[in-house]
Structure 1
């Protein structure tokens, strides 16, 4: 409990520093490109276009998903996944990649994963606006539940932040962890129903396993918020499982981060 209190206090005491460093992180990512920050939108949309051509037109033959155009259904799953996958990879490598620099500065190391995730959140918010515009243009505004959408954005941020406390610590001490995370992230993309729909013929146990997957909870939540507009996802028992998982990650991540961070430089 003491470690959790330390981590939370460090975040609250360094909010201004987190905001400044996350803004710098975002600018640094696109600083050397001719089109600059336009790549925030262009890169994801190009990827969405490729998946739509291959899976929407190729595999599905242009069929809708429960009355929703496949492109709209697809983008409502891919945009949150782009945020999650980038935050997982960047978050896990955040401390190791910056340890020589930040160890000479006067702020706690627990701030590093936070400002890296916040930088990814900026990009995600821009893409979310684009996603909402596309949904409104195709479906209309009546299917969108903004409050539910905000809930899932906040939920995704909390999950990715607490996860980064764990992964950034472990991958700094054992570099194989980062490679394992890269592989696991690629696998999760196909395990999580982003490009496919769970079948009603699927065994109920397997459907339940998919449902407690936090990534599925978030992706499905975005789709419900944008395409169905109801509160069923938030009010379900899976929300309790999801937030319990976040609490476990926060406790575990805080304990190992506080315990080992003084030794991080020794692992380089």
Structure 2
């Protein structure tokens, strides 16, 4: 596992993944439409990305819209798609200026075609940037990703293109949507909930988990710093005894 076997106070996370939870509850608590909660959540995204740049975190993945979120009301889904559309249109120039590379993972076939085109354009435009890799999971589900990868490997075996004996953890990971992106060292979830909710299930096998009571629209750089500080205090063993590391 390259040089990721860390002991306390030795290193900051290379990859932080965040389950951005609580937009709706934030709005409900204030008697506001859920749409306004999502808009405030977009502001929290801006603060988080700026904080990641300042903290020199190379990779950050944000869970923006899950495969299960399609079950929400048509109105809310349309509002979320509209917000995503505006975000892609308004932020890409700033991303490019700040050296941020944007990647989007998830099932694009369910997204409106104009959003698919905006994503492709943003990814191409920022492809060479190196200050920060910002990965946004949209229409994403961890179980679906694993099943799709297994299906592609099975098809390759059936076609005689792959020997079953050659399938191992590395070859499986290479078929995931996150191929080429390191596994998250730290997974943060806001709103006080303590579960992964079908997010990066394969990739988070050895991630440190950090749960924040704040709702996502209230999340800021200080919360990211607190999570990183807690990460640095932990000892990562990957199943080994401390004395063997």
TM-score by length of 1: 0.26
TM-score by length of 2: 0.28
Q: Which has the higher contact order (CA 8 A, sep 6+)?
A: 2
Higher helix share: 1
Higher strand share: 2
